């Protein structure tokens, strides 16, 4: 497909369609760099404004992203994850047909902040385990996870192989801690330095933050997490039922 200067379709829309077809047909793989602006101008015989308009439209559609000082790259396909049950990252990725892996950045005992103390039902300043990991889907960083556990349980978990063993699995199968329910809190936030570096995005990039507190028997909190997901790589969906008392009656 080439640019048709006699067509009523605007040149930037034609150029955008060329990019979309190449991406969808697999001619341009996710993660690959597009030609430079000058190269695209010469290749397609269009103006710099036409190229920029087409690229901006692709960015708005989440198909490409600009990496400062590096160029324009094809993004990974957006993952759609359902929030319908209490599941861990590995379970979620397996359900989507993706390979899950993890890189442990830090594991240590820290003093519980006011928020952590409240979520784990321990005194503020109490010693708790903190584990920081990057979670990857098919080798691409998808989330930065910060997990807090009560000290006694956390010291055991920290000694395990956390790059190959999911924490949920360890809690349930190795440490006899059934996970029964969780409370989720979702927000859109800008990425800060630690998260941005871990996920390879610019500071200030949109991040999906999930705070999750998981409870065991007798409503005992055993796991508090801050899960920072790349906003350009994932979307969350759920299905809600209408409360019966609110259904209008004839």
pLDDT (tens digit per residue) in 102-136: 999 999 999 999 999 999 999 999 999 999 999 99
Res. 245 pLDDT band, cuts 50 70 90 = low
d(CA 131, CA 14): 48
Q: Is the pTM of this model over 0.75?
A: no
Closest Cα to residue 37, out of 53, 22, 60, 13? 53
CA 244 – CA 250 distance, rounded (Å): 14
- 25-66: per-residue pLDDT in tens? 778 887 788 889 999 999 999 999 999 999 998 887 778 888
pLDDT at 23: 80
Torsion of CA 132, 233, 194, 117, to 10 degrees: -50
Domains of the chain (ranges; CATH) run 11-74 (1.10.10.10), 79-237 (3.40.1410.10)
């Amino acid at each position: 497909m080439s640019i048709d200067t006699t067509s009523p379709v605007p040149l930037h829309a034609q150029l955008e369609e060329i990019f979309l077809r190449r991406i969808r047909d697999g001619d341009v793989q996710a993660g690959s760099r597009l030609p430079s602006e000058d190269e695209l101008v010469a290749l397609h015989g269009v103006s710099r404004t036409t190229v920029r308009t087409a690229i901006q439209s692709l960015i708005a559609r989440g198909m490409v992203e600009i990496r400062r000082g590096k160029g324009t790259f094809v993004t990974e396909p957006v993952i759609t994850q359902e929030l319908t049950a209490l599941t861990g990252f590995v379970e979620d990725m397996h359900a989507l047909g993706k390979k899950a892996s993890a890189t442990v950045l830090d594991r240590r005992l820290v003093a519980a902040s006011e928020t952590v103390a409240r979520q784990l039902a321990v005194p503020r300043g109490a010693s708790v385990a903190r584990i920081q990991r990057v979670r990857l889907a098919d080798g691409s960083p998808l989330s930065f996870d910060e997990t807090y556990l009560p000290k006694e349980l956390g010291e055991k978990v920290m000694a395990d192989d956390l790059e190959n063993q999911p924490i949920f699995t360890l809690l349930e199968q190795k440490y006899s801690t059934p996970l029964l329910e969780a409370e989720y809190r979702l927000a859109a936030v800008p990425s800060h330095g630690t998260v941005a570096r871990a996920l390879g995005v610019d500071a200030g990039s949109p991040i999906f933050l999930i705070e999750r507190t998981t409870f065991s028997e007798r409503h005992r909190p055993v796991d508090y997490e801050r899960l920072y997901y790349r906003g350009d790589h994932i979307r969350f969906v759920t299905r809600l039922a209408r409360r019966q008392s609110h259904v209008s009656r004839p």
